[in-house]
């Protein structure tokens, strides 16, 4: 089951309105522009080989960053990209960690 994470609309709006957003990401700007943008602490720009981009949202001790209006955005690293590329490293060691067979 998935849980909704605070501020996801603002994160998508921020990714879509970034000056270096690719064509796909720019499609996010219009539908999520009303949510506003979030101040980011760091960015990993999209790369066509890597097939993902990311932004880092710093939060207070409570784990969320608030804007001037008091709207929360969950702190952490937000990654947007092709699932088969974003998730490939998370499963890389699973089979190999058992050691050689034979």
For residue 45, the enclosing domain spans 8-96
What is the predicted pLDDT for the residue at 93? 46
Say if 92 falls within a structural domain.
yes
CA dihedral 51, 36, 75, 79 (to 10 degrees): -10
Q: What is the DSSP string of 71-99?
A: -EEE-EEEEEE-HHHHSGGGGHHHHHTT-
pTM of the model: 0.70
Say if 62 falls within a structural domain.
yes
**Please, which residues have CB within 8 angstroms of residue 1's CB and are 6 or more apart in sequence?**
none
Say if 3 falls within a structural domain.
no
Q: Is 7 helix (H, G, I), strand (E, B) or coil?
A: coil
Say if 2 falls within a structural domain.
no
pLDDT digits (tens, 9 = 90+) for 27-63: 999 999 888 778 889 999 888 898 889 999 886 434 4
What is the predicted pLDDT for the residue at 95? 44
Q: How many structural domains compose the chain?
A: 1
102: pLDDT confidence band, cut at 50, 70 and 90? very low
What is the predicted pLDDT for the residue at 88? 81
Say if 1 falls within a structural domain.
no
Answer whether residue 71 shows pLDDT above 80: no
């Amino acid at each position: 089951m998935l849980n909704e994470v605070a501020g996801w609309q603002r994160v998508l709006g921020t990714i879509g309105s970034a000056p270096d957003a690719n064509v796909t990401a720019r499609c996010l700007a219009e539908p999520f522009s009303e949510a506003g943008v979030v101040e980011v602490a760091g960015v990993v720009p999209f790369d066509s080989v890597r097939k993902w981009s990311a932004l880092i949202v710093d939060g207070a001790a409570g784990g969320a960053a608030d804007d001037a209006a008091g709207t929360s955005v969950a702190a952490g690293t937000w990654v947007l990209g092709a699932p088969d590329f974003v998730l490939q490293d998370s499963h890389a060691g699973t089979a190999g960690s058992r050691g050689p067979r034979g």
